[in-house]
Structure 1
Amino acid sequence: MKIGIVGIGLIGASLGWDLRQLGHEVIGVSRQQATCETAEQKGICDRASCDLASLEATEVIFICTPIAAILPTIERLIPHLQPQTIITDAGSVKGAIVEPATKLWLNFVGGHPMAGNSESGIAAFEKGLFVDRPYVLTPTPATVPSALTTVDELVRSLKAIVYQTTPEHHDLAVAWISHLPVMVSASLTGACLAETDPQILDLAKKFASTGFRDTSRVGAGNPEMGMMMAQYNREAVLRSLYRYRDRLDGIIDSIASKQWSEIEDLLATNQAARPDFLNSND
Protein backbone atom coordinates (compact mmCIF):
# COMPACT_ATOMS: atom_id res chain seq x y z
CA MET A 1 0.00 0.00 0.00
CA LYS A 2 1.19 3.53 -0.74
CA ILE A 3 0.87 5.61 2.44
CA GLY A 4 1.37 9.32 2.98
CA ILE A 5 2.40 10.99 6.22
CA VAL A 6 2.06 14.72 6.75
CA GLY A 7 4.15 15.87 9.71
CA ILE A 8 7.28 13.80 10.29
CA GLY A 9 7.70 14.38 14.01
CA LEU A 10 7.65 11.82 16.81
CA ILE A 11 4.35 10.19 15.81
CA GLY A 12 4.65 10.62 12.04
CA ALA A 13 8.22 9.35 11.91
CA SER A 14 7.43 6.39 14.16
CA LEU A 15 4.48 5.51 11.94
CA GLY A 16 6.60 5.84 8.84
CA TRP A 17 9.32 3.54 10.10
CA ASP A 18 6.94 0.83 11.30
CA LEU A 19 4.79 0.92 8.16
CA ARG A 20 7.86 0.61 5.94
CA GLN A 21 8.95 -2.47 7.91
CA LEU A 22 5.58 -3.99 7.00
CA GLY A 23 6.29 -3.51 3.31
CA HIS A 24 4.32 -0.34 2.64
CA GLU A 25 5.67 2.49 0.52
CA VAL A 26 5.77 5.62 2.68
CA ILE A 27 5.84 9.15 1.31
CA GLY A 28 6.39 11.92 3.83
CA VAL A 29 5.68 15.63 3.81
CA SER A 30 7.22 18.14 6.20
CA ARG A 31 7.51 21.92 6.27
CA GLN A 32 11.27 21.60 6.77
CA GLN A 33 13.51 20.32 3.98
CA ALA A 34 16.06 19.22 6.56
CA THR A 35 13.43 17.00 8.18
CA CYS A 36 12.64 15.45 4.79
CA GLU A 37 16.30 14.67 4.21
CA THR A 38 16.63 13.13 7.68
CA ALA A 39 13.51 11.01 7.11
CA GLU A 40 14.99 9.54 3.94
CA GLN A 41 18.43 9.04 5.47
CA LYS A 42 17.03 7.20 8.50
CA GLY A 43 14.74 5.01 6.41
CA ILE A 44 11.58 6.52 7.87
CA CYS A 45 10.19 7.36 4.43
CA ASP A 46 10.88 6.09 0.93
CA ARG A 47 10.60 9.69 -0.24
CA ALA A 48 9.93 12.94 1.55
CA SER A 49 9.37 16.52 0.42
CA CYS A 50 7.69 19.78 1.36
CA ASP A 51 5.10 19.37 -1.41
CA LEU A 52 1.62 18.02 -0.62
CA ALA A 53 1.18 17.22 -4.31
CA SER A 54 3.61 14.33 -3.80
CA LEU A 55 0.78 12.48 -2.04
CA GLU A 56 -1.57 12.45 -5.04
CA ALA A 57 -1.22 8.70 -5.64
CA THR A 58 -1.38 7.59 -1.99
CA GLU A 59 -4.14 5.32 -0.72
CA VAL A 60 -4.09 6.36 2.94
CA ILE A 61 -2.73 9.57 4.48
CA PHE A 62 -1.91 10.03 8.16
CA ILE A 63 -1.99 13.69 9.24
CA CYS A 64 0.40 13.99 12.19
CA THR A 65 0.52 17.76 12.50
CA PRO A 66 -0.40 19.85 15.55
CA ILE A 67 -4.16 19.95 16.17
CA ALA A 68 -4.60 23.46 14.76
CA ALA A 69 -3.07 22.42 11.43
CA ILE A 70 -5.18 19.30 10.78
CA LEU A 71 -8.19 20.92 9.07
CA PRO A 72 -6.11 23.43 7.04
CA THR A 73 -3.91 20.54 5.90
CA ILE A 74 -6.93 18.59 4.67
CA GLU A 75 -8.14 21.63 2.76
CA ARG A 76 -4.76 22.00 1.08
CA LEU A 77 -4.59 18.29 0.30
CA ILE A 78 -7.98 18.01 -1.40
CA PRO A 79 -6.94 19.34 -4.84
CA HIS A 80 -4.24 16.67 -5.06
CA LEU A 81 -6.19 13.57 -4.01
CA GLN A 82 -8.10 10.79 -5.72
CA PRO A 83 -11.72 10.42 -4.47
CA GLN A 84 -10.97 7.03 -2.89
CA THR A 85 -8.00 8.26 -0.82
CA ILE A 86 -8.50 7.77 2.91
CA ILE A 87 -7.38 10.43 5.38
CA THR A 88 -6.88 9.82 9.08
CA ASP A 89 -5.26 11.97 11.76
CA ALA A 90 -3.31 11.52 14.97
CA GLY A 91 -4.65 14.47 16.96
CA SER A 92 -5.31 14.17 20.69
CA VAL A 93 -8.67 15.96 20.36
CA LYS A 94 -11.46 14.55 18.22
CA GLY A 95 -14.63 16.56 18.88
CA ALA A 96 -13.26 19.68 17.19
CA ILE A 97 -11.80 17.72 14.29
CA VAL A 98 -13.87 14.75 13.15
CA GLU A 99 -17.13 16.39 12.06
CA PRO A 100 -15.60 19.29 10.10
CA ALA A 101 -12.94 16.98 8.63
CA THR A 102 -15.61 14.55 7.43
CA LYS A 103 -17.47 17.42 5.80
CA LEU A 104 -14.28 18.37 3.98
CA TRP A 105 -13.38 14.81 2.98
CA LEU A 106 -15.88 11.96 3.18
CA ASN A 107 -13.21 9.26 3.53
CA PHE A 108 -11.95 10.65 6.83
CA VAL A 109 -11.41 8.52 9.94
CA GLY A 110 -10.52 10.16 13.26
CA GLY A 111 -7.61 8.54 15.07
CA HIS A 112 -5.44 9.03 18.13
CA PRO A 113 -2.41 6.87 18.96
CA MET A 114 -2.00 6.91 22.74
CA ALA A 115 1.78 6.64 22.59
CA GLY A 116 4.75 8.97 22.74
CA ASN A 117 6.99 10.75 25.18
CA SER A 118 7.78 14.27 26.30
CA GLU A 119 10.13 14.83 23.36
CA SER A 120 9.11 16.08 19.94
CA GLY A 121 10.49 16.16 16.42
CA ILE A 122 11.90 13.50 14.14
CA ALA A 123 14.87 12.89 16.43
CA ALA A 124 12.49 11.51 19.06
CA PHE A 125 10.98 8.78 16.86
CA GLU A 126 10.83 5.24 18.22
CA LYS A 127 10.71 1.92 16.43
CA GLY A 128 7.72 -0.13 17.55
CA LEU A 129 6.24 2.85 19.39
CA PHE A 130 2.66 1.61 19.01
CA VAL A 131 3.11 -2.00 20.09
CA ASP A 132 0.66 -2.86 22.89
CA ARG A 133 -0.40 0.78 23.17
CA PRO A 134 -3.99 2.02 22.77
CA TYR A 135 -4.87 3.47 19.39
CA VAL A 136 -8.31 5.08 19.38
CA LEU A 137 -10.50 5.39 16.28
CA THR A 138 -13.53 7.66 16.48
CA PRO A 139 -16.07 6.84 13.76
CA THR A 140 -19.37 8.68 13.46
CA PRO A 141 -22.55 7.76 11.55
CA ALA A 142 -21.04 9.62 8.58
CA THR A 143 -17.84 7.58 8.53
CA VAL A 144 -17.44 5.41 5.42
CA PRO A 145 -17.30 1.77 6.67
CA SER A 146 -14.65 0.68 4.17
CA ALA A 147 -12.40 3.59 5.18
CA LEU A 148 -12.79 2.66 8.85
CA THR A 149 -11.94 -0.97 8.09
CA THR A 150 -8.80 0.00 6.18
CA VAL A 151 -7.48 2.25 8.94
CA ASP A 152 -8.41 -0.30 11.61
CA GLU A 153 -6.47 -3.02 9.81
CA LEU A 154 -3.44 -0.79 9.30
CA VAL A 155 -3.34 0.17 12.97
CA ARG A 156 -3.73 -3.43 14.10
CA SER A 157 -0.82 -4.39 11.86
CA LEU A 158 1.31 -2.10 14.06
CA LYS A 159 0.34 -4.39 16.98
CA ALA A 160 -1.51 -1.54 18.65
CA ILE A 161 -4.60 -2.18 20.79
CA VAL A 162 -7.46 -0.64 18.84
CA TYR A 163 -10.47 0.97 20.50
CA GLN A 164 -13.45 2.55 18.79
CA THR A 165 -15.58 5.19 20.46
CA THR A 166 -17.31 8.46 19.69
CA PRO A 167 -15.34 11.70 19.40
CA GLU A 168 -17.19 13.05 22.44
CA HIS A 169 -16.42 10.06 24.66
CA HIS A 170 -12.81 10.10 23.49
CA ASP A 171 -12.35 13.72 24.52
CA LEU A 172 -13.93 13.23 27.95
CA ALA A 173 -11.77 10.18 28.69
CA VAL A 174 -8.55 11.68 27.34
CA ALA A 175 -9.12 14.83 29.40
CA TRP A 176 -8.73 12.69 32.53
CA ILE A 177 -5.67 10.65 31.64
CA SER A 178 -3.77 12.94 29.28
CA HIS A 179 -4.84 16.57 29.27
CA LEU A 180 -5.52 16.98 33.02
CA PRO A 181 -2.10 15.49 33.94
CA VAL A 182 -0.39 18.02 31.66
CA MET A 183 -2.15 20.91 33.43
CA VAL A 184 -1.57 19.49 36.90
CA SER A 185 2.09 18.76 36.15
CA ALA A 186 2.64 22.26 34.80
CA SER A 187 0.93 23.69 37.89
CA LEU A 188 3.27 21.72 40.14
CA THR A 189 6.35 23.27 38.61
CA GLY A 190 4.68 26.69 38.60
CA ALA A 191 3.84 26.35 42.29
CA CYS A 192 7.46 25.50 43.11
CA LEU A 193 8.67 28.53 41.17
CA ALA A 194 6.33 30.69 43.28
CA GLU A 195 8.49 30.06 46.35
CA THR A 196 9.57 33.55 47.47
CA ASP A 197 12.62 32.52 49.47
CA PRO A 198 15.46 32.05 46.94
CA GLN A 199 17.41 29.84 49.33
CA ILE A 200 14.48 27.43 49.71
CA LEU A 201 13.86 27.42 45.95
CA ASP A 202 17.53 26.65 45.30
CA LEU A 203 17.44 23.78 47.80
CA ALA A 204 14.25 22.41 46.24
CA LYS A 205 15.93 22.33 42.82
CA LYS A 206 18.95 20.55 44.27
CA PHE A 207 16.86 18.03 46.24
CA ALA A 208 14.50 17.20 43.35
CA SER A 209 14.66 13.51 42.53
CA THR A 210 12.45 10.77 41.09
CA GLY A 211 9.19 11.96 42.65
CA PHE A 212 9.43 15.44 41.20
CA ARG A 213 10.90 14.18 37.92
CA ASP A 214 8.05 11.71 37.34
CA THR A 215 5.30 14.11 38.38
CA SER A 216 6.59 17.11 36.44
CA ARG A 217 7.51 15.26 33.22
CA VAL A 218 4.27 15.55 31.26
CA GLY A 219 3.98 19.25 32.02
CA ALA A 220 7.42 19.87 30.54
CA GLY A 221 6.54 18.69 27.04
CA ASN A 222 5.83 20.73 23.92
CA PRO A 223 4.13 23.97 25.13
CA GLU A 224 2.23 24.40 21.86
CA MET A 225 0.77 20.91 22.14
CA GLY A 226 -0.33 21.51 25.73
CA MET A 227 -1.94 24.80 24.81
CA MET A 228 -3.87 23.14 21.98
CA MET A 229 -5.15 20.44 24.31
CA ALA A 230 -6.68 23.17 26.47
CA GLN A 231 -7.94 25.19 23.51
CA TYR A 232 -9.50 22.42 21.42
CA ASN A 233 -10.75 20.25 24.30
CA ARG A 234 -11.70 23.20 26.49
CA GLU A 235 -14.98 21.94 27.98
CA ALA A 236 -13.68 18.49 28.87
CA VAL A 237 -10.44 19.88 30.29
CA LEU A 238 -12.34 22.37 32.44
CA ARG A 239 -14.66 19.60 33.63
CA SER A 240 -11.71 17.49 34.77
CA LEU A 241 -9.90 20.46 36.33
CA TYR A 242 -12.97 21.48 38.37
CA ARG A 243 -13.33 17.95 39.73
CA TYR A 244 -9.61 17.74 40.44
CA ARG A 245 -9.82 21.06 42.31
CA ASP A 246 -12.64 19.63 44.43
CA ARG A 247 -10.42 16.68 45.37
CA LEU A 248 -7.51 18.98 46.15
CA ASP A 249 -9.71 21.18 48.34
CA GLY A 250 -10.75 18.04 50.22
CA ILE A 251 -7.13 17.14 50.88
CA ILE A 252 -6.41 20.68 52.09
CA ASP A 253 -9.37 20.53 54.47
CA SER A 254 -8.30 17.12 55.83
CA ILE A 255 -4.76 18.29 56.52
CA ALA A 256 -5.89 21.62 57.99
CA SER A 257 -8.27 19.81 60.39
CA LYS A 258 -5.69 17.09 61.17
CA GLN A 259 -7.87 14.31 59.82
CA TRP A 260 -4.96 11.97 59.22
CA SER A 261 -7.13 8.89 58.78
CA GLU A 262 -8.88 10.59 55.86
CA ILE A 263 -5.52 11.21 54.18
CA GLU A 264 -4.48 7.61 54.77
CA ASP A 265 -7.79 6.30 53.38
CA LEU A 266 -7.43 8.49 50.28
CA LEU A 267 -3.88 7.29 49.64
CA ALA A 268 -4.90 3.66 50.19
CA THR A 269 -7.80 4.01 47.75
CA ASN A 270 -5.53 5.56 45.15
CA GLN A 271 -2.89 2.88 45.68
CA ALA A 272 -5.47 0.16 45.02
CA ALA A 273 -7.04 1.90 42.01
CA ARG A 274 -3.90 2.96 40.13
CA PRO A 275 -3.16 -0.47 38.56
CA ASP A 276 -6.57 -0.40 36.87
CA PHE A 277 -5.37 2.57 34.83
CA LEU A 278 -1.97 1.09 34.01
CA ASN A 279 -2.65 -2.63 33.46
CA SER A 280 -5.91 -2.52 31.50
CA ASN A 281 -4.10 -3.30 28.21
CA ASP A 282 -2.02 -6.23 29.52
Structure 2
Amino acid sequence: MKVGIIGLGLIGGSLGLDLRNCGHIIYGVSRKESTCNRALKKEVVDYADINLKSLSTVDIIFICTPIGLISQTLKQLIPHLSKEVIITDVGSVKTCIVKECESLWTNFVGGHPMAGTAEQGIEAAQKNLFKNAPYVITPTEKTPENSMKILEELAQSLGSLVYTCSPEIHDQSVAWISHLPVMISASLIAACSEEKDKSILKLAQQLASSGFRDTSRVGGGNPELGVMMAQYNKTALLHTLQGYSQQLDEITEYIKTEQWDSLQKLLMITQQERSPFIGIEKNS
Protein backbone atom coordinates (compact mmCIF):
# COMPACT_ATOMS: atom_id res chain seq x y z
CA MET A 1 0.00 0.00 0.00
CA LYS A 2 1.17 3.52 -0.76
CA VAL A 3 0.99 5.61 2.42
CA GLY A 4 1.30 9.39 2.59
CA ILE A 5 2.41 11.15 5.77
CA ILE A 6 2.17 14.90 6.17
CA GLY A 7 4.31 16.18 9.01
CA LEU A 8 7.51 14.24 9.67
CA GLY A 9 7.94 14.86 13.38
CA LEU A 10 7.85 12.36 16.23
CA ILE A 11 4.47 10.84 15.32
CA GLY A 12 4.68 11.09 11.54
CA GLY A 13 8.27 9.93 11.47
CA SER A 14 7.58 6.99 13.77
CA LEU A 15 4.57 6.00 11.67
CA GLY A 16 6.80 6.06 8.62
CA LEU A 17 9.42 3.83 10.21
CA ASP A 18 6.93 1.18 11.33
CA LEU A 19 4.66 1.19 8.27
CA ARG A 20 7.69 1.03 6.00
CA ASN A 21 8.94 -1.91 8.03
CA CYS A 22 5.57 -3.58 7.35
CA GLY A 23 6.27 -3.37 3.62
CA HIS A 24 4.30 -0.24 2.70
CA ILE A 25 5.74 2.45 0.45
CA ILE A 26 5.96 5.72 2.36
CA TYR A 27 5.60 9.16 0.79
CA GLY A 28 6.46 11.94 3.23
CA VAL A 29 5.72 15.65 3.08
CA SER A 30 7.31 18.33 5.25
CA ARG A 31 7.45 22.09 5.04
CA LYS A 32 11.25 21.98 5.28
CA GLU A 33 13.55 20.51 2.66
CA SER A 34 16.05 19.70 5.40
CA THR A 35 13.45 17.56 7.20
CA CYS A 36 12.69 15.70 3.97
CA ASN A 37 16.38 14.98 3.47
CA ARG A 38 16.79 13.82 7.05
CA ALA A 39 13.71 11.56 6.76
CA LEU A 40 15.22 9.92 3.68
CA LYS A 41 18.58 9.45 5.39
CA LYS A 42 16.94 7.88 8.47
CA GLU A 43 14.89 5.62 6.16
CA VAL A 44 11.66 6.97 7.60
CA VAL A 45 10.22 7.35 4.10
CA ASP A 46 10.85 6.09 0.59
CA TYR A 47 10.09 9.45 -1.00
CA ALA A 48 9.97 12.94 0.52
CA ASP A 49 8.87 16.30 -0.82
CA ILE A 50 7.71 19.72 0.33
CA ASN A 51 4.85 19.68 -2.18
CA LEU A 52 1.47 18.08 -1.42
CA LYS A 53 1.16 17.13 -5.11
CA SER A 54 3.61 14.32 -4.42
CA LEU A 55 0.79 12.45 -2.62
CA SER A 56 -1.48 12.26 -5.65
CA THR A 57 -0.99 8.50 -6.11
CA VAL A 58 -1.17 7.24 -2.51
CA ASP A 59 -3.94 5.08 -1.01
CA ILE A 60 -4.13 6.60 2.46
CA ILE A 61 -2.81 9.80 4.03
CA PHE A 62 -1.99 10.48 7.68
CA ILE A 63 -2.14 14.19 8.56
CA CYS A 64 0.36 14.55 11.40
CA THR A 65 0.33 18.32 11.79
CA PRO A 66 -0.62 20.30 14.93
CA ILE A 67 -4.38 20.23 15.64
CA GLY A 68 -4.95 23.76 14.34
CA LEU A 69 -3.51 22.92 10.91
CA ILE A 70 -5.32 19.63 10.19
CA SER A 71 -8.39 20.94 8.36
CA GLN A 72 -6.33 23.63 6.65
CA THR A 73 -3.95 20.96 5.36
CA LEU A 74 -6.87 18.88 4.12
CA LYS A 75 -8.22 21.83 2.14
CA GLN A 76 -4.85 22.21 0.45
CA LEU A 77 -4.71 18.48 -0.30
CA ILE A 78 -8.10 18.09 -1.95
CA PRO A 79 -7.21 19.41 -5.45
CA HIS A 80 -4.49 16.76 -5.80
CA LEU A 81 -6.45 13.63 -4.80
CA SER A 82 -8.89 11.13 -6.20
CA LYS A 83 -12.03 10.46 -4.14
CA GLU A 84 -10.87 6.94 -3.27
CA VAL A 85 -8.00 8.16 -1.08
CA ILE A 86 -8.53 7.60 2.65
CA ILE A 87 -7.52 10.52 4.84
CA THR A 88 -6.98 10.26 8.57
CA ASP A 89 -5.35 12.38 11.26
CA VAL A 90 -3.51 11.84 14.54
CA GLY A 91 -4.91 14.77 16.53
CA SER A 92 -5.55 14.44 20.26
CA VAL A 93 -8.96 16.16 19.91
CA LYS A 94 -11.55 14.61 17.63
CA THR A 95 -15.02 16.18 17.72
CA CYS A 96 -14.25 19.48 16.02
CA ILE A 97 -11.64 17.95 13.72
CA VAL A 98 -13.85 15.09 12.52
CA LYS A 99 -16.86 17.38 12.02
CA GLU A 100 -14.93 19.81 9.85
CA CYS A 101 -12.84 17.27 7.95
CA GLU A 102 -15.66 14.90 7.01
CA SER A 103 -17.57 17.89 5.63
CA LEU A 104 -14.58 18.49 3.36
CA TRP A 105 -13.76 14.87 2.50
CA THR A 106 -16.27 12.01 2.58
CA ASN A 107 -13.51 9.41 2.95
CA PHE A 108 -12.17 10.79 6.24
CA VAL A 109 -11.57 8.67 9.35
CA GLY A 110 -10.62 10.30 12.64
CA GLY A 111 -7.76 8.68 14.53
CA HIS A 112 -5.60 9.24 17.60
CA PRO A 113 -2.50 7.11 18.27
CA MET A 114 -1.83 7.73 21.96
CA ALA A 115 1.93 7.44 22.11
CA GLY A 116 4.78 9.88 22.34
CA THR A 117 7.86 11.11 24.15
CA ALA A 118 9.07 14.46 25.44
CA GLU A 119 11.18 14.83 22.30
CA GLN A 120 9.93 16.41 19.07
CA GLY A 121 10.96 16.51 15.43
CA ILE A 122 12.27 14.01 12.91
CA GLU A 123 15.25 13.13 15.12
CA ALA A 124 12.82 11.84 17.78
CA ALA A 125 11.20 9.35 15.38
CA GLN A 126 11.62 5.78 16.61
CA LYS A 127 10.55 2.26 15.80
CA ASN A 128 7.83 0.52 17.83
CA LEU A 129 6.57 3.79 19.34
CA PHE A 130 2.97 2.58 18.96
CA LYS A 131 3.48 -0.99 20.14
CA ASN A 132 1.03 -1.84 22.96
CA ALA A 133 -0.18 1.78 22.95
CA PRO A 134 -3.84 2.76 22.40
CA TYR A 135 -4.90 3.79 18.91
CA VAL A 136 -8.39 5.30 19.01
CA ILE A 137 -10.50 5.41 15.85
CA THR A 138 -13.50 7.75 15.98
CA PRO A 139 -16.02 7.00 13.21
CA THR A 140 -19.37 8.71 12.76
CA GLU A 141 -22.44 7.53 10.85
CA LYS A 142 -20.86 9.12 7.76
CA THR A 143 -17.58 7.19 7.97
CA PRO A 144 -17.10 4.59 5.20
CA GLU A 145 -16.90 1.20 6.92
CA ASN A 146 -14.25 -0.18 4.60
CA SER A 147 -11.99 2.83 5.16
CA MET A 148 -12.34 2.42 8.91
CA LYS A 149 -11.37 -1.27 8.64
CA ILE A 150 -8.27 -0.41 6.60
CA LEU A 151 -7.13 2.10 9.23
CA GLU A 152 -7.84 -0.45 11.96
CA GLU A 153 -5.70 -3.06 10.18
CA LEU A 154 -2.84 -0.58 9.77
CA ALA A 155 -3.04 0.36 13.45
CA GLN A 156 -3.00 -3.31 14.44
CA SER A 157 0.05 -3.87 12.25
CA LEU A 158 1.83 -1.28 14.40
CA GLY A 159 1.13 -3.43 17.45
CA SER A 160 -1.34 -0.88 18.78
CA LEU A 161 -4.36 -1.64 20.93
CA VAL A 162 -7.24 -0.41 18.79
CA TYR A 163 -10.31 1.20 20.36
CA THR A 164 -13.35 2.53 18.51
CA CYS A 165 -15.72 5.16 19.87
CA SER A 166 -17.50 8.38 18.89
CA PRO A 167 -15.48 11.60 18.70
CA GLU A 168 -17.43 13.00 21.65
CA ILE A 169 -16.71 10.05 23.95
CA HIS A 170 -13.05 10.18 22.93
CA ASP A 171 -12.75 13.86 23.78
CA GLN A 172 -14.33 13.55 27.21
CA SER A 173 -12.19 10.52 28.03
CA VAL A 174 -8.89 12.12 27.02
CA ALA A 175 -9.91 15.30 28.84
CA TRP A 176 -9.87 13.28 32.08
CA ILE A 177 -6.65 11.34 31.60
CA SER A 178 -4.58 13.60 29.33
CA HIS A 179 -5.73 17.20 29.09
CA LEU A 180 -6.75 17.72 32.74
CA PRO A 181 -3.40 16.37 34.05
CA VAL A 182 -1.57 18.94 31.90
CA MET A 183 -3.54 21.78 33.51
CA ILE A 184 -3.16 20.35 37.02
CA SER A 185 0.56 19.83 36.51
CA ALA A 186 1.01 23.36 35.15
CA SER A 187 -0.93 24.75 38.13
CA LEU A 188 1.34 22.84 40.53
CA ILE A 189 4.47 24.32 38.97
CA ALA A 190 2.96 27.83 38.94
CA ALA A 191 1.82 27.61 42.57
CA CYS A 192 5.20 26.37 43.81
CA SER A 193 7.01 29.04 41.83
CA GLU A 194 4.96 31.77 43.49
CA GLU A 195 6.32 31.01 46.96
CA LYS A 196 7.33 34.45 48.27
CA ASP A 197 10.03 33.31 50.67
CA LYS A 198 13.10 32.86 48.47
CA SER A 199 14.87 30.57 50.93
CA ILE A 200 11.85 28.22 51.02
CA LEU A 201 11.56 28.30 47.22
CA LYS A 202 15.26 27.53 46.77
CA LEU A 203 15.20 24.62 49.24
CA ALA A 204 12.01 23.24 47.66
CA GLN A 205 13.73 23.26 44.28
CA GLN A 206 16.74 21.48 45.76
CA LEU A 207 14.63 18.84 47.51
CA ALA A 208 12.26 18.15 44.61
CA SER A 209 12.59 14.51 43.63
CA SER A 210 10.58 11.74 41.95
CA GLY A 211 7.20 12.77 43.39
CA PHE A 212 7.43 16.32 42.06
CA ARG A 213 9.11 15.15 38.85
CA ASP A 214 6.27 12.71 38.09
CA THR A 215 3.43 15.10 38.90
CA SER A 216 4.99 18.09 37.13
CA ARG A 217 6.23 16.37 33.96
CA VAL A 218 3.29 17.04 31.63
CA GLY A 219 2.92 20.61 32.90
CA GLY A 220 6.45 21.30 31.76
CA GLY A 221 5.78 20.10 28.23
CA ASN A 222 5.03 21.83 24.94
CA PRO A 223 3.05 25.05 25.71
CA GLU A 224 1.60 25.20 22.19
CA LEU A 225 0.14 21.71 22.56
CA GLY A 226 -1.34 22.58 25.96
CA VAL A 227 -3.11 25.62 24.56
CA MET A 228 -4.48 23.58 21.64
CA MET A 229 -5.87 20.99 24.07
CA ALA A 230 -7.76 23.73 25.89
CA GLN A 231 -8.83 25.57 22.75
CA TYR A 232 -10.12 22.59 20.79
CA ASN A 233 -11.46 20.53 23.71
CA LYS A 234 -12.78 23.42 25.78
CA THR A 235 -16.17 21.99 26.84
CA ALA A 236 -14.85 18.60 27.92
CA LEU A 237 -11.84 20.12 29.68
CA LEU A 238 -13.99 22.59 31.62
CA HIS A 239 -16.17 19.68 32.77
CA THR A 240 -13.12 17.85 34.13
CA LEU A 241 -11.68 20.98 35.72
CA GLN A 242 -14.95 21.53 37.56
CA GLY A 243 -14.95 17.95 38.81
CA TYR A 244 -11.33 18.22 39.93
CA SER A 245 -11.97 21.55 41.65
CA GLN A 246 -14.83 20.01 43.65
CA GLN A 247 -12.60 17.15 44.80
CA LEU A 248 -9.85 19.59 45.79
CA ASP A 249 -12.37 21.68 47.75
CA GLU A 250 -13.48 18.53 49.56
CA ILE A 251 -9.93 17.63 50.56
CA THR A 252 -9.29 21.22 51.66
CA GLU A 253 -12.37 21.09 53.88
CA TYR A 254 -11.30 17.77 55.43
CA ILE A 255 -7.94 19.23 56.39
CA LYS A 256 -9.30 22.58 57.55
CA THR A 257 -11.88 20.93 59.83
CA GLU A 258 -9.53 18.08 60.84
CA GLN A 259 -11.76 15.34 59.44
CA TRP A 260 -8.90 12.86 59.42
CA ASP A 261 -11.12 9.78 59.17
CA SER A 262 -12.83 11.20 56.09
CA LEU A 263 -9.49 12.05 54.52
CA GLN A 264 -8.15 8.56 55.22
CA LYS A 265 -11.28 6.99 53.73
CA LEU A 266 -10.87 9.07 50.57
CA LEU A 267 -7.19 8.14 50.26
CA MET A 268 -8.01 4.46 50.71
CA ILE A 269 -10.57 4.73 47.90
CA THR A 270 -8.15 6.52 45.55
CA GLN A 271 -5.46 3.93 46.35
CA GLN A 272 -7.78 1.23 45.05
CA GLU A 273 -9.19 3.19 42.11
CA ARG A 274 -5.82 4.16 40.64
CA SER A 275 -4.86 0.73 39.31
CA PRO A 276 -7.39 0.46 36.44
CA PHE A 277 -6.06 3.73 35.02
CA ILE A 278 -2.41 2.68 34.94
CA GLY A 279 -2.76 -0.89 33.77
CA ILE A 280 -2.13 -2.89 36.95
CA GLU A 281 -5.44 -4.72 36.66
CA LYS A 282 -5.29 -4.82 32.86
CA ASN A 283 -1.99 -6.68 32.85
CA SER A 284 -2.64 -8.99 35.81
So what's the TM-score if we normalise by structure 2? Answer: 0.97
The offset of 1:233, in angstroms, is: 0.3
**1:95-174 matches, cutoff 5 A:** 95-174=95-174
8 Å contact 2:276–2:282 — kept in the other structure?
no
Question: Which residue in 2 is equivalent to 1:270?
Answer: 270
**1:41-60 matches, cutoff 5 A:** 41-60=41-60
Q: In the alignment, is residue 194 of structure 1 matched against residue 194 of structure 2? A: yes
Cα 1:264/1:222, change in 2 over 3 Å: same
Q: Give deviations 1:221-269, integer Å, cap 9, x for gaps.
A: 1111110000000000000000000000111111111112222222211
Quick check: 137-146 or 33-42, which moved more? Answer: 33-42
The offset of 1:123, in angstroms, is: 2.1
Q: Give deviations 1:196-229, integer Å, cap 9, x for gaps.
A: 1111111111111101111111111111111000
SS where residue 274 of structure 2 aligns? Answer: helix
Question: Which residue in 1 is equivalent to 2:185?
Answer: 185
SS where residue 112 of structure 1 aligns? Answer: strand
8 Å contact 1:109–1:147 — kept in the other structure?
yes
Question: Which residue in 1 is equivalent to 2:221?
Answer: 221
The offset of 1:281, in angstroms, is: 5.1
SS where residue 96 of structure 1 aligns? Answer: helix
Q: In the alignment, is residue 206 of structure 1 matched against residue 206 of structure 2? A: yes
Question: Which residue in 2 is equivalent to 1:9?
Answer: 9
Q: Give deviations 1:51-98, integer Å, cap 9, x for gaps.
A: 111111110000111100000000000011121000000000001110
The offset of 1:125, in angstroms, is: 2.1
The offset of 1:124, in angstroms, is: 2.0
SS where residue 97 of structure 1 aligns? Answer: helix
8 Å contact 1:119–1:221 — kept in the other structure?
no
Cα 1:281/1:83, change in 2 over 3 Å: farther
SS where residue 88 of structure 1 aligns? Answer: strand
Distance in 1, Cα, partners of 2:220 & 2:33: 27
The offset of 1:120, in angstroms, is: 1.9
8 Å contact 1:161–1:281 — kept in the other structure?
no
Distance in 1, Cα, partners of 2:159 & 2:282: 12
What root-mean-square deviation, in Å, do the aligned CA atoms of Structure 1 and Structure 2 show? 1.0
SS where residue 96 of structure 2 aligns? Answer: coil
SS where residue 106 of structure 1 aligns? Answer: coil
Gaps of 5+ in 1: none
Question: Which residue in 1 is equivalent to 2:36?
Answer: 36
Distance in 2, Cα, partners of 1:178 & 1:48: 32
Distance in 2, Cα, partners of 1:34 & 1:68: 23
Matched positions, count? 282
Q: In the alignment, is residue 237 of structure 1 matched against residue 237 of structure 2? A: yes
Distance in 2, Cα, partners of 1:201 & 1:124: 34
Amino acid at match of 1:96: C
So what's the TM-score if we normalise by structure 1? Answer: 0.98
Amino acid at match of 2:183: M
Amino acid at match of 1:244: Y
